[in-house]
């Protein structure tokens, strides 16, 4: 039979989804027993706690403050974001827990930030929450805005900043040394072709004025928005001049005299509409994509064979209990299809290629501590992913590297160093999800925060520290006892137990997911059941432009 008989213009063959060419990751049947039910209940309790804590940080100020704000004809920050986004757009909210339970910090750092569609363009959307202490810049806000800017820069996302801030927090004025970095970052993003549009909604003095002043596009609202380096009280104190905020830096003045404003509008709806027009005018997809990518077929997303809800049955709420990372992989990959790489070598680490939401991805996950063979395999796999220009997903559940004479002799340091080198020098985008423990050098090997993953999210039960609370408290206790023995002094057992308990409590607190997220050491705590959606959205962001691995890796070798 000829080719023409198989395929004619009237009956084109539809290419098969590439995931269908990969093997199905088959899981053992789930046996529902009391232990499974108890684990599910524990996971549901963690998710309920996450929901409650999330609601607490979505707070936009007291009812009285919000009513006063609304009475002035102003929208609340989250309503401004909603108006900016396309209808039915997804919105990946980031760093929600910034400042959580920290003294002198506000919920979410008085900032809403995340990625959504604006005029059909993936955009970093940031909004001050002026009803929370005037959205003055405390240390949590500084860390959050810098992280949001970094994400936008690395992923080449335009930024729309809805500005309404009282400037630096005078009670935390020393943080200025770190906070001023955001203006440096804004300038370098603009130089690198990542544009920012600022929409000014109210009175923004000093530090609050520099973001609009340095933006590629600045929109101001007549008789509502004001920008100035020094407000009326400071002007009077410094010069004796008496003036009003509107006379000093009103929108009309900046649009007609100083030239700071590029667009003058009459109300907030008009301002946000102009911001949407600005994004549409960027022609962003065509600017950042390689030309041939615009014509490639987009693979549809295939549903996994296993439901995300059933993940609560198998993923352990207690991180001390082991579980197979394949249980997660089968629930996030298209069609539950996964091509494992070297499954019989370095078996504590799972590596392989799959598709998530129609996008190719290399996956690295833990089923225990790292041995030298695990490190060798993972290093080789990272080089493969770079040669194939495929992004990497790291699924952390690791207590660290295996220790002992046998493993030191087998090259734990040597092969661990090669792995960390590969993680650091990989140039494909990385996503990290901490699903259990992520301790010490294991965190480094799995692309923890210090290794600049494009995105890093944590499950509620996730924990990050040098080592677990039990191990760390035990090691400190042993070291102190050795000091006593060497000096010939008796050990005060009651004192040692008290110190051990205090150290255990300290590490338990500081390794907690909410403690880390509060300090912007991750990009958010997520419901485990949303893992596939979050990973798919991140891969969609990566797919906007050509992914290029590190050409310096050269050919793959078995080290």
Q: How far apart are CA 114 and CA 95, in angstroms?
A: 8
Q: Judge contact between 465 and 396, C-beta under 8 A.
A: no
Q: How many CB atoms lie within 10 A of CB 428?
A: 21
Q: Judge contact between 370 and 401, C-beta under 8 A.
A: yes
The residues near 209 (Cβ < 8 Å, ≥ 6 apart) are 167, 227, 228, 229, 249
pLDDT for res 298 = 64
Q: How far apart are CA 68 and CA 61, in angstroms?
A: 11
DSSP E strands: which ranges in 201-294?
203-205, 217-221, 226-228, 263-265
Total residues found in the chain within this entry = 559
Nearest to 455 by CA among 152, 120, 189: 152
Q: How many CB atoms lie within 10 A of CB 230?
A: 16
Nearest 10 degrees: CA dihedral of 85, 86, 88, 91?
A: -30
Q: How far apart are CA 122 and CA 283, in angstroms?
A: 12
Element (H, E) at 40: helix 34-57
pLDDT for res 4 = 46
**Residue 493, class by beta-carbon neighbours within 10 Å (0-12 exposed, 13-18 middle, 19+ buried)?**
exposed
DSSP E strands: which ranges in 216-271?
217-221, 226-228, 263-265
Q: How far apart are CA 106 and CA 129, in angstroms?
A: 10
In the chain, the N- to C-terminal Cα span, in Å, equals 49
Q: How far apart are CA 390 and CA 285, in angstroms?
A: 20
Here the tokens at position 50 are 């996450």
Element (H, E) at 179: helix 176-179
Q: Give the residues of the chain that fall short of pLDDT 50.
A: 1-9, 293-297
Residue 349 phi/psi, 5-degree rounding, is -120, 130
226: left (phi > 0), else alpha (psi -120 to 50), else beta? beta
pLDDT for res 3 = 44
**Distances 266 to 33, 200, 272 between C-alpha atoms, Å:** 64, 12, 11
pLDDT for res 331 = 98
- Using DSSP, state whether 373 is helix, strand or coil: helix
Q: How far apart are CA 142 and CA 183, in angstroms?
A: 11
**What one-character-per-residue DSSP string does 215-228 give?**
SSEEEEETTT-EEE
Q: How far apart are CA 147 and CA 453, in angstroms?
A: 12
Structural domains in the chain? Answer: 17-44+296-465+512-559 (3.90.226.10), 74-288 (3.90.226.10), 469-510 (no CATH)
Q: Judge contact between 154 and 454, C-beta under 8 A.
A: yes
pLDDT for res 2 = 43
- Please give the radius of gyration of the chain, using alpha carbons only, rounded to the nearest integer: 26
Q: How far apart are CA 460 and CA 457, in angstroms?
A: 10
Nearest to 394 by CA among 329, 440, 441: 329
Longest dimension (CA), the chain: 94
pLDDT for res 174 = 61
DSSP state, residue 304: P
Q: How far apart are CA 356 and CA 19, in angstroms?
A: 9
Report pLDDT digits (tens) over 190-204: 999 999 999 999 999
Element (H, E) at 483: helix 469-487
Q: How far apart are CA 159 and CA 122, in angstroms?
A: 9
Residue 423 phi/psi, 5-degree rounding, is -60, -45
**Residue 187, class by beta-carbon neighbours within 10 Å (0-12 exposed, 13-18 middle, 19+ buried)?**
exposed
pLDDT for res 526 = 98
Q: Judge contact between 467 and 473, C-beta under 8 A.
A: no
Tally DSSP H helices, then E strands, for the chain: 23, 16
Here the tokens at position 437 are 């423990």
Q: How far apart are CA 90 and CA 92, in angstroms?
A: 7
Report pLDDT digits (tens) over 416-435: 899 999 999 999 999 999 99
Residue identified by tokens 């485990």 is 528
Nearest 10 degrees: CA dihedral of 246, 249, 254, 258?
A: 130
């Amino acid at each position: 039979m000829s080719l023409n008989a198989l395929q004619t213009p009237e009956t084109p063959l539809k290419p098969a989804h590439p995931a269908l060419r990969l093997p199905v990751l088959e899981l053992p049947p789930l046996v529902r027993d009391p232990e499974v039910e108890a684990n599910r209940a524990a996971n549901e309790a963690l998710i309920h706690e996450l929901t409650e804590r999330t609601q607490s940080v979505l707070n936009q100020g007291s009812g009285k403050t919000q009513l006063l704000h609304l009475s002035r004809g102003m929208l609340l920050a989250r309503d401004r974001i909603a108006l900016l986004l396309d209808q039915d757009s997804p919105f990946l909210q980031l760093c929600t827990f910034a400042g959580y339970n920290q003294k002198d910090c506000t919920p979410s750092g008085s900032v809403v930030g995340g990625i959504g569609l604006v005029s059909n363009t993936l955009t970093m959307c940031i909004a001050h929450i002026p009803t929370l202490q005037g959205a003055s810049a405390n240390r949590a806000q500084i860390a959050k805005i810098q992280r949001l800017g970094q994400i936008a820069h690395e992923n080449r996302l335009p930024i729309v900043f809805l500005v309404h801030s009282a400037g630096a927090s005078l009670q935390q004025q020393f943080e200025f040394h770190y906070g001023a970095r955001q203006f440096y970052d804004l300038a370098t993003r603009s130089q690198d072709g990542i544009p920012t549009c600022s929409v000014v909604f109210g009175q923004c003095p000093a530090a609050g004025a520099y973001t609009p002043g340095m933006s590629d596009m600045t929109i101001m609202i007549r008789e509502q928005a004001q920008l100035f380096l020094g407000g009326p009280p400071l002007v009077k104190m410094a010069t004796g001049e008496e003036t009003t905020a509107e006379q000093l830096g009103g929108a009309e003045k900046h649009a007609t005299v100083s030239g700071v404003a590029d667009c003058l509008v009459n109300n907030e709806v008009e301002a946000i509409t102009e911001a949407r027009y600005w994004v549409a005018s960027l022609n962003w997809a065509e600017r950042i994509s390689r030309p041939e990518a615009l014509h490639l077929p987009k693979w549809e997303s295939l549903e996994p064979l296993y439901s995300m809800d059933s993940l609560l049955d198998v993923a352990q709420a207690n991180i001390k209990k082991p579980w197979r990372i394949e249980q997660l992989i089968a629930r996030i990959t298209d069609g539950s299809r996964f091509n494992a790489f070297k499954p019989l070598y370095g078996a504590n680490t799972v590596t392989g290629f799959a598709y998530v939401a129609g996008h190719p991805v290399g996956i690295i996950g833990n089923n225990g501590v790292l041995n030298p063979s695990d490190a060798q395999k993972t290093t080789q796999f990272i080089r493969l992913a770079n040669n194939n220009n495929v992004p990497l997903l790291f699924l952390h559940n690791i207590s660290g590297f295996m220790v002992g004479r046998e493993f030191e002799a087998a090259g734990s340091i040597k092969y661990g160093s090669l792995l960390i080198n590969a993680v650091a020098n990989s140039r494909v985008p990385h996503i990290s999800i901490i699903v259990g423990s992520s301790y010490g050098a294991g965190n480094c090997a799995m692309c923890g925060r210090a290794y600049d993953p494009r995105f890093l999210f944590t499950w509620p039960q996730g924990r990050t520290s040098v080592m677990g609370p039990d191990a760390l408290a035990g090691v400190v206790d042993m070291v102190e006892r050795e000091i006593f023995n060497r000096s010939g002094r008796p050990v005060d057992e009651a004192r040692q137990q008290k110190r051990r308990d205090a150290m255990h409590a300290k590490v338990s607190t500081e390794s907690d997911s909410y403690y880390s997220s509060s300090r912007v050491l991750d990009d958010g705590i997520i419901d485990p059941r949303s893992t596939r959606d979050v990973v798919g959205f991140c891969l969609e962001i990566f797919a906007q432009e050509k992914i290029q691995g590190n050409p310096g890796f050269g050919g793959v070798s078995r080290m």
